[in-house]
């Protein structure tokens, strides 16, 4: 990361390093390496309970019009909170979160092509495929959060989802087929198998930021909450900064500002 052009650019003043909670060690090492090369840079490492794939999807959905490190950070956090993410798995024998039942665990040792669908959340769930009747609490939320302007979910699948998994996503509330992407990271640490096919469901126009609550006295960036996320100092309460709504269907940017080391990959509709 310390040799990344964007990181080395003098116009980059802050760096946000997102890391999965399980195994944030490499992220801290990378941040320390960058700090050694550019000690004047404000570097923030944030470990979040999401897979690398889900984080990448949240980052690439940040619209171009969101400027400033704190604004991008707040937008990414809001998008992560609104994502539904999971995977199709041929086996749940090595899955820990969400936790499969003992019966599912035992069944995983038998050969069965349909596999399982696992969805993260609070508490998340695992189901053997095919699913006859989906429980209401396993469907995508029907009412979008306040400020959301999109009319339908989109889903990106990172690999080839079996049809039985796509059918379940439709019964969860998806209305269009998942966009097929190439996998960009090894799913094994999150799902227990390299054969897992991850998917991320989101509202394309989600998560309009609330107005900023203040301004950082050091970097002069708008701040959401009490402190600047990068300078770690108390913000000066200030007038609200209006944030305009994003039109539905706005395509995501190829890369988001102020974020590094998260690659993107395009793909065709699955």
Please give the residue ranges that form the binding site for Zn ion (CB under 5 A).
216, 218-219, 228, 231
95, exposed or middle or buried, with CB in 10 Å at 0-12, 13-18, 19+?
A: buried
Q: Which of residues 100 and 214 has its CB atom nearest to Zn ion in the complex? A: 214
Please choose, from the candidates 15, 78, 83, the residue with its C-alpha nearest in 3D space to the C-alpha of residue 53.
Answer: 83
State the nearest-atom distance from the C-beta of 12 to Zn ion, in Å: 14
State the nearest-atom distance from the C-beta of 262 to Zn ion, in Å: 22
* Residues 263 and 172 sit within 8 Å (Cβ to Cβ): no
Q: Which of residues 88 and 224 has its CB atom nearest to Zn ion in the complex? A: 224
Cβ-Cβ contacts under 8 Å for 217 (sequence gap 6 or more) = 233, 234, 235, 236
State the nearest-atom distance from the C-beta of 212 to Zn ion, in Å: 12
Q: Which of residues 174 and 219 has its CB atom nearest to Zn ion in the complex? A: 219
Q: Which of residues 238 and 251 has its CB atom nearest to Zn ion in the complex? A: 238
Q: Which of residues 225 and 249 has its CB atom nearest to Zn ion in the complex? A: 225
State the nearest-atom distance from the C-beta of 177 to Zn ion, in Å: 43
Alpha helices of 182-253 — where are they, by DSSP H? 188-191
CA distance 257 to 131: 41
Supply angle C-alpha 240, 242, 244, rounded to 5: 160
State the nearest-atom distance from the C-beta of 218 to Zn ion, in Å: 5
């Amino acid at each position: 990361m310390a040799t990344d052009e964007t990181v080395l650019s003098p116009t980059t003043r802050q760096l946000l390093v997102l890391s999965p909670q399980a195994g944030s060690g490499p992220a801290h090492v990378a941040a320390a390496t960058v700090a050694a090369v550019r000690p004047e840079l404000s570097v923030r490492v944030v470990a979040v309970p999401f897979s690398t794939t889900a984080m990448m999807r949240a980052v690439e959905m940040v619209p171009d019009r969101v400027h400033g490190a704190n604004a991008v950070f707040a937008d990414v956090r809001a998008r992560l909170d609104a994502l539904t993410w999971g995977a199709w798995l041929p086996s749940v024998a090595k899955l820990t979160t969400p936790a499969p039942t003992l019966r599912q665990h035992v069944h995983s040792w038998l050969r069965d092509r349909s596999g399982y669908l696992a969805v993260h959340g609070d508490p998340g769930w695992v189901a053997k495929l095919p699913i006859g009747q989906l429980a209401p609490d396993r469907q995508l939320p029907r009412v979008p959060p306040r400020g959301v302007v999109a009319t339908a979910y989109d889903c990106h699948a990172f690999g080839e989802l079996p049809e039985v998994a796509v059918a379940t996503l439709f019964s969860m509330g998806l209305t269009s087929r998942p966009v097929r992407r190439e996998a960009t990271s090894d799913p094994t640490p999150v799902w227990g198998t390299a054969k897992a096919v991850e998917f991320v469901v989101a509202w394309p126009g989600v998560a309009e930021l609330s107005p900023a609550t203040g301004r950082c006295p050091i970097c002069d960036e708008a701040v959401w909450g009490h402190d600047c996320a990068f300078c770690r100092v108390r913000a000066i309460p200030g007038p609200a900064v209006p944030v305009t709504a994003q039109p539905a269907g706005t395509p995501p940017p190829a890369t988001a500002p102020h974020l590094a080391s998260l690659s993107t990959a395009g793909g065709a509709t699955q």
